[in-house]
Amino acid sequence: MKTTKYFHLYQDCIIVKGILNSLLIDHYKGKIFNIPTVIVTNQILKNRFIHNTESNCELISALSEDDFGYFTDDIDTIEKQIVWNSPRNINEIIIEHTLKDFYNLDEIYSKIENIDAEFIQIRFLEYSKEKLDKILTLLENSCIRTIEILIPYIDKTNTEEITKELSRNHRIQIVYFYNAPYTKSMQYENLFTVLFYEKNLTSGRHCGIVDEDYFITDIKNISKSILHNSCLKDKLFISQDGSIKNCPSMPQSFGNIKNITLEKAINHTNFKKYWNLTKDNIEVCKDCEFRYICTDCRAYTELTHNNEEGLDISKPLKCGYDPHIGEWTEWSTNSLKQKAIKHYEMDKII
């Protein structure tokens, strides 16, 4: 019986080469498969065609069983193009609230509407049912399509009441209860995800964690990571006192919502300075097979490298993976990270 020449990976598959290991990602099915980089380099043509030889028999059998592709005798010339476009300057807004905000609620949500963002994360440092109800009313006819809400955990009864009330709003995608007595996730009546976290998620010090549990494999996030900074691109943060930043953990403020327009803050020279810094240009990350499915934190890094433009291109501080040996370790106990940990005063909270 004639043997076909190649195993052809589906168009939905992307290969990310690392220095030791490579990652095969099926962004349609959300599956990943690890392959040694030496095989990718020597046996895979055009990142899609694997030589159907005896030496590759075990690999191809596993890929075929998991439905990553099909057998063929031909190599096509179609090259897959990765693009990521958005008509908006800002797609993602994070806003903090307390019992008594330092700004007018109606005015700030009117300003948010003017920049035409699709996603908003509402963070309650102190919870108020009346304020949440008003905010959701203000968002009823807005351009916002997806809502995430962070609420401090009070007790089981309160949590159940809040969750039931929020089920009436179909724009809500995730509800977080932080400072909870446990960490777990659940699906509420197939409407949205409810996540309980033991940590204080509103603290900027807890941002930037790189972990396998946080990997995102859909094409929207992968293409964004390939072409832009996966964390800071198109993001805007408004603190509870009205300070405008690119991210809750980034140190630089670009004015206050009470006396500056969001458009003016966004157009500040430094607001977008990290937006196009990809993992391909960050030390260590550029050698990592996971670089397009994890996030990138510029607020907390190992503080080891700057590029010619003065941008911090150091590895994220809270990543414990070493792509050169293919192993995960606890980042907070790494002796090489202790100087940076003390610089950010992380030693007080870890």
Query: What is the rounded average pLDDT of the residues 153-174?
Result: 94
* Of 278 and 86, the one with more pLDDT: 278
Under a CB-based contact definition with an 8 Å cutoff, are residues 217 and 27 in contact?
yes
List, as one string, the DSSP characters of 239-306.
Answer: -TT-BEESSTT-S----BTTTS-HHHHHTSTTTTTTTT--GGGSTTGGG-TTTTTS---SSSB----B
- Percent of the chain past pLDDT 90, that is, above it, reads 83
Kindly state whether residue 17 falls inside one of the protein's structural domains.
Answer: yes
pLDDT at 66 over 80: yes
- Percent of the chain past pLDDT 70, that is, above it, reads 99
Kindly state whether residue 254 falls inside one of the protein's structural domains.
Answer: no
Q: State the pTM of this model.
A: 0.91
Q: What 3-state class would DSSP assign to 211? A: coil
* Of 100 and 291, the one with more pLDDT: 291
**pLDDT class of 146 with cuts at 50, 70, 90:** very high
Kindly state whether residue 30 falls inside one of the protein's structural domains.
Answer: yes
Q: Please state at what angle helix 129-138 crosses helix 105-114, rounded to 10 degrees.
A: 30
Kindly state whether residue 116 falls inside one of the protein's structural domains.
Answer: no
pLDDT at 1 over 60: no
Indicate the number of domains in the chain.
Answer: 1
Query: What is the rounded average pLDDT of the residues 293-316?
Result: 96
The pLDDT assigned to 240 comes to 93
Count the neighbouring beta carbons within 10 Å of the beta carbon of residue 114: 12
Give the integer Cα–Cα distance in Å for 149 and 177.
9
Which residues lie below 8 Å from residue 107, measured CB to CB, with a gap of 6+? none
pLDDT at 64 over 60: yes
The pLDDT assigned to 235 comes to 97
* Of 4 and 264, the one with more pLDDT: 264
Give the integer Cα–Cα distance in Å for 182 and 350.
18
Kindly state whether residue 114 falls inside one of the protein's structural domains.
Answer: no
- Per-residue pLDDT tens over the stretch 118-127: 999 999 999 9
The pLDDT assigned to 2 comes to 60
* Closest by Cα among 299, 323, 324 to 312: 299
Kindly state whether residue 319 falls inside one of the protein's structural domains.
Answer: no
Q: To the nearest whole number, what is the mean pLDDT of the chain?
A: 93
Query: What is the rounded average pLDDT of the residues 64-78?
Result: 91
Domain that holds residue 58: 6-72
Kindly state whether residue 49 falls inside one of the protein's structural domains.
Answer: yes
Kindly state whether residue 36 falls inside one of the protein's structural domains.
Answer: yes
- Per-residue pLDDT tens over the stretch 7-47: 999 999 999 999 999 999 999 999 999 999 999 999 999 88
The pLDDT assigned to 171 comes to 94
Query: What is the rounded average pLDDT of the residues 131-136?
Result: 95
Query: What is the rounded average pLDDT of the residues 213-229?
Result: 94
